[in-house]
Amino acid sequence: MTVEELRHLLRDMEPDAEVLVVHQRTYPFELSLSHVTTRRECIDDEEYEEGDRGLDGRPQRLDDVFLVEGGQAAYGLRSAWDF
């Protein structure tokens, strides 16, 4: 998902609503978000080479955005994956 795709999905959402991540489909948890960062902010240039690929084969870019977990907020809903 790109930043633009996320913006599009959030455009009609309530601005004051909390953003949570539902993790682990078989035993779901709701996770709060701590902060947002980028790969560039998280690694040393020596640890990263342009063109490195993730487990899914996608190139890892320095401007990739990370939504960082804050902690478990509640047990999640399995139906969150039904879209």
Mean pLDDT of 69-81: 92
pLDDT at 46: 66
What one-letter code names the amino acid at 18? E
* 11 contacts 21 by C-beta, under 8 angstroms: no
User: pLDDT-derived band of residue 43, with 50, 70 and 90 as boundaries?
Assistant: confident
Rounded to two decimals, the pTM is 0.78
**Portion of the chain with pLDDT greater than 70, in percent:** 98
Mean pLDDT of 48-57: 81
Query: What are the boundaries of each domain within the chain?
Result: 18-48+56-77
SS3 state at 68:
strand
